[in-house]
Amino acid sequence: MKYLKTIGFNSNQPIGRGFNYPYDVAFSEDNRIFVLNRMGGHNSSGIRIQICTYDEDWLGEFATGPGKGDSQFVIPVCMSFNSKDLLYVTDESLNDVKVFDNQGNYITKWTTNITGPQKFAGPSGIVHGSDDSVYLVEQYANKISKFTGDGQFLFSWGSEGDGEGEFNLPWGISTDVEGHLFIADWGNDRIQKFTADGEFIATYGESGYQDGQFNKPSSVAIDSKGFIHVADWGNERVQVLDPDGEFHQLLEGEATLSKWAEEWLEVNLDEYDLRKESNLLVKELPNHLQTPYHRASQSEPIFWGPVSVKIDSEDRLYVTEHSRHRIQIYEQ
């Protein structure tokens, strides 16, 4: 894959242009980019959803500030648009799914498995099927649940374990053009593939640091050709697998300054000089700091906290970096 550009920079403000611990992106029908800002440490003031374009036009924001109101979040996780351009957002703390229109207006929320007494158990990944059905990852229940678009429970599968169809704190979820489901099985360091009915197909990856091995994968995305993109979160990298699940390419990050960052540094020259001094090349780090975390935290171009991967309508890959407050974009 070829690096294209970076969007975003760190903003310490609870409103306005700039990201604050972004966690996921989603794309509306008109190709606007919706960016979910979560929180960092004890600072939750920047929680919100922002809207921008590929050309870095900042269009606004909604659902600002932490809280339990209809248009608020506490610990939001993932987003997905359906074919009607409605945005579904999960919150693992409030144990709900909120629905907004493409202008950010609140519509409704789900707080339980509608047809029964069971509440959600840490909803994280969410994706829509071709018929607008909803697949929801419930990480603490180690299961995947399927719903109609208006929240009627259909069925679920999964349990705790490391066997086929079992999970250990699953996180991200995606579909391919044929409707197959791919689950980032975070605690088991693997990706699992299923039919739309929840029948097990295959497992990809194992624990480790080599090519094709994972350390707490958090997200997965499939392009139109069937290539599997995995946010190998614990290893601070993204791996690309071919349609058969074999290792294809390793991405470690090639970030350049975004337009927003360049504009900010043009009027803050002292910060620009300090930035150059603190940005160490990986090869300059001593041997005891040649770990995924230290490499990521000390060298600005490479990924640090790659928590989400998404594919847009033009098959471009968006890698959301929680700890660098930015999105790196690649193409085939």
Q: Report the CATH number at residue 261.
A: 2.120.10.30
Instruction: Please count the other Cβ atoms lying within 10 Å of the Cβ belonging to residue 271.
Output: 11
* Residue type for position 115: T
**What's the pLDDT score for residue 111?**
84
Q: How confident is the model at residue 117 (pLDDT cuts 50, 70, 90)?
A: low
The model's confidence at residue 65, banded by pLDDT at 50, 70 and 90, is: confident
Residue 290 has a pLDDT of 78
- In the chain, the number of structural domains is 1
Higher pLDDT, 123 or 291: 123
User: Is residue 218 pLDDT above 90, yes or no?
Assistant: yes
- Strand pairing of 190-194 and 200-204? antiparallel
Residues whose CB falls within 8 Å of the CB of residue 63, separated by 6 or more in sequence, listed in order: 47, 48, 49, 71, 72, 73, 89, 98, 100, 104, 106
Q: What is the pLDDT of residue 16?
A: 86
In this structure, the number of other CB atoms found within 10 A of the CB of residue 17 comes to: 19
Is residue 206 over pLDDT 80? yes
| Structural element, H or E, at residue 8 | none
- Pairing state between β 22-27 and 106-110: unpaired
CB atoms within 10 A of CB 306: 28
What is the rounded average pLDDT of the residues 224-235?
98
User: How confident is the model over 184-203, as a mean pLDDT?
Assistant: 99
Dist CA 207 CA 185 (whole Å): 11
Q: Kindly tell me the burial class for residue 178, based on how many C-beta atoms sit within 10 Å of its own C-beta (0-12, 13-18, 19 or more).
A: exposed
Domain that holds residue 319: 2-331
